[in-house]
Amino acid sequence: MQLVIEKMKEGMANSILDWKYEKPYDFYNNERSDEALEELLDGSYYALVDEWKVLIGFFCIGKNAQVPIGNRFGVYTGDFVDMGIGMNPHLVGKGNGFEFCTYVIQYIEENYKNTPIRLTVAKFNQRAIHLYRKLGFVQVAEFSSEVAEFITMVKEDDVLK
């Protein structure tokens, strides 16, 4: 699959807000609201499309990639690029994650040179955690909210810099 990064457009954002994941990944379903649409269009989100312009997924960088309650636990200190990702639910669990994430990581590494990458993932999402470990991420912190437990991970080669 050939991936291309594009600026998030309103039609793409509306499609993402309509995505529905199967249990237990329905945790990642979005609520359709003006605020959610505004966030997707605020400039921190990017769309990934294939060679036919089909929306494959998205990623975001910065504060929108963080789980806000994590700040209470001090997990977002230091100079990192926070990365958040989402893949079209029709493509999840079918072996597309490695290529998808590698493409996003390469983009971030090229555009944020010498800044380590951090991500936050729900602790129940062992499938994603396994993928992130395969991509070189290691767990650095853990915290909980009222709805879920989370871990933060940092790209290991970034930790060694």
Average pLDDT score over residue span 92-110: 93
Domain span at residue 130 reads: 4-159
- Give the global pTM: 0.91
Helix axes 126-134, 97-111, angle to 10 degrees: 60
pLDDT the model gives residue 140 = 96
Q: Which residue has the tokens 């490695």?
A: 98
**CATH assignment at residue 112:** 3.40.630.30
Average pLDDT score over residue span 27-38: 90
Q: Tens digits of per-residue pLDDT, 116-161?
A: 999 999 999 999 999 999 999 999 999 999 889 999 999 977 554 4
pLDDT the model gives residue 27 = 86
Percent of the chain topping pLDDT 90: 83
Number of domains in the chain: 1
d(CA 118, CA 105): 10
Closest by Cα among 104, 110, 112 to 86 = 104
**CA distances (Å), origin 42, targets 9, 82, 88, 142, 160:** 10, 16, 20, 28, 33
Look at residue 90 and tell me whether its pLDDT is greater than 70: yes
Percent of the chain topping pLDDT 70: 97
> Which amino acid is present at 156?
E
